[in-house]
């Protein structure tokens, strides 16, 4: 496997295992510099990316390490539930406001929309705090270069524009239902 392909797979595997950004950067730089010296094939020298990533997790001290599978699930399921609930309330509330019809039992449409917006927006903000982004950064210890550059602006805009568009469609449908 070519070195850059190996590095990309290793980066992904380490991210999936919640290895902290600085440690990922060290590991990638080690692989890079070792392969540059020895001229070996990365998989031959370090093993398949996923296996080496598991090995890296093993070297992290017990008290720092969390079982990455459990951690990933424990974190993502509640987040998804809350974001989903928030999305439902927001979409229903907006449709209710637009159509003038009741939607969420026991809750006026405006309250539903505000509550949904707060939940959903809260999750988004929490997941995207600067501190969280900083600890995820993977900076090459040799050059300071970012090995995992930021998501491009067009991608970030699309991710936001897509649900917003759906919500707007919901509002239009609600207005049409008056």
Query: Which residues are at the interface with another protein (CB under 8 A)?
Result: 26-27, 29-38, 40, 44-47, 51-52, 55-56, 58-59, 61, 141-143
| Dihedrals phi, psi of 103, to nearest 5 degrees | -130, -65
Q: Which long-range contacts (CB under 8 A, 24 or more apart) does 163-170 make?
A: 163/87, 166/91, 167/90, 167/91, 167/94, 170/91, 170/94, 170/95, 170/98
**Which one, 34 or 132, has the nearer CB to another protein?**
34
**Which one, 52 or 95, has the nearer CB to another protein?**
52
Question: Least distance from C-beta 33 to another protein, angstroms?
Answer: 5
Q: Within 13 A of 142's CA, how many CA atoms are on the CB side?
A: 9
**Which one, 146 or 150, has the nearer CB to another protein?**
146
Question: Least distance from C-beta 87 to another protein, angstroms?
Answer: 42
Question: Least distance from C-beta 150 to another protein, angstroms?
Answer: 23
């Amino acid at each position: 496997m070519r070195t850059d392909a190996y590095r990309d797979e290793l980066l992904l595997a380490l991210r999936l295992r919640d290895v902290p950004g600085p440690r990922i950067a060290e590991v990638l730089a080690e692989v890079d510099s070792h392969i540059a010296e020895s001229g070996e094939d990365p998989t031959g020298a370090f093993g398949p990316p996923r296996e080496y990533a598991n090995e890296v997790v093993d070297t992290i001290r017990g008290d720092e390490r969390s079982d990455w599978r459990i951690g990933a699930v424990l974190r993502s399921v509640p987040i998804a539930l809350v974001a989903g609930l928030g999305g439902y309330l927001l979409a229903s509330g907006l449709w209710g406001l637009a159509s003038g019809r009741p939607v969420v039992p026991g809750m006026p449409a405006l309250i539903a929309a505000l509550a949904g917006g707060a939940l959903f927006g809260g999750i988004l903000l929490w997941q995207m705090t600067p501190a969280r982004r900083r600890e995820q950064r993977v900076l090459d210890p040799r050059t300071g270069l970012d090995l995992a550059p930021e998501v491009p602006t067009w991608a970030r805009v699309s991710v936001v524009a897509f649900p917003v568009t759906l919500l707007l469609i919901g509002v239009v449908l609600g207005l049409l239902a008056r």
